Amino acid sequence: MTATRTGEAMDYRVGEVAAFAGITVRTVHHYDEIGLLSPSGRSAAGYRRYRDADLDRLQRVLLYRELGLPLETIATLLSAPEAEADAHLRWQRELLVAKADRVTRMVAAVDRVPEARAMGSALTPEEKFEVFGGFREPEGYPEEAAQRWGDTPGMAARHAARGQGRMGGSRAATQGCRQSRCEGPCADGGGP
């Protein structure tokens, strides 16, 4: 570690912070650019320098990301004046426990599939989808998806079937997904 001691606090370079957290330097830079994780200081040469408090904040950011919260929501949570680190950690723990419970239920549901096959019985449609633990498409997802990725032909058909009409969207997004690992609406077969 090439952290330097300045007074009582340790200073860390951006590469060290990225390595500690298991993220890329580009991600750390991005978090700085959007005001989510600003460095405590700069070196004489202008390089970002992070302190232990910055690492604590990054830990909270990454926990919230793991829970699926968007960066905008995380920024709002972390900037609330009444927000305290311990309160955030308690809330994160509650969310993680709930997520662990959902995953445990999903594992049990997946385990029932080979058990049912071994016994020669078929699962009901409800049992097949029990693996999702009562999952329902989040409220406002179609609108958010159209905003983020555009209205793909599959999404347009979905909206038409629901009587929602065209959601709008960028022309580029409707021409097909170019991402190697798409998380957009085309990931469910709704687009190219």
Q: Who has greater pLDDT, 169 or 54?
A: 54
Tell me the residue ranges of DSSP E strands in the chain. 4-6, 9-13, 41-42, 48-50
Residues 6+ away with beta carbon under 8 Å from 9 = 40, 51, 52
pLDDT of residue 136: 61
Per DSSP, 184 falls in state S
- pLDDT band of residue 163 (cuts 50, 70, 90) is low
Q: How many CB atoms lie within 10 A of CB 36?
A: 18
Is 35 a residue whose pLDDT tops 90? yes
Residues 6+ away with beta carbon under 8 Å from 139 = none
Per residue in 83-133, pLDDT (tens digit) is: 566 777 788 889 889 889 888 888 888 888 888 888 888 777 777 776 666
pLDDT of residue 188: 43
Estimate to the nearest angstrom the gap between the alpha carbon of 152 and the chain centroid: 22
Structure tokens at 78: 């972390």
Its pTM surpasses 0.75:
no
